[in-house]
Structure 1
């Protein structure tokens, strides 16, 4: 990743929360899988949201 992209990503401030309720077993399995893939649950959920919004705009 280029230095410019890294700076751009850091410039986006995370200033809001989204609270969801899910089954504890599903949560634990998801977090464990994320750890195994060397990522975080929050990062993957943010990625899903970005991709979902982008795909919805393309329709």
Structure 2
């Protein structure tokens, strides 16, 4: 069974140090993932963690 993904129709612009960005992108490539995928995963986990605390 495949998850239904919501359409990605928005962008989030962040400012980050050039060196940190390069290290992040390089590590993502080594781990066979993308920087965008990992940022989206972080956002989803962050929302789950903090929204569940609000309802508790």
Q: State the TM-score, normalized to the length of structure 2.
A: 0.89
Q: Which residue of 2 aligns with 1:30?
A: 24
Moved beyond 6 Å, runs of 4+: none
Query: What's the Cα RMSD here?
Result: 0.8
Q: Across the two proteins, how many residue pairs are aligned to each other?
A: 53
- Give the CA deviation at 1:48: 0.1
More helix by share: 1
Give TM-score scaled by structure 1 length.
0.84
Distance of 2:52 and 2:14 partners within structure 1:
26
Structure 2 residue ranges without an equivalent (≥5): none
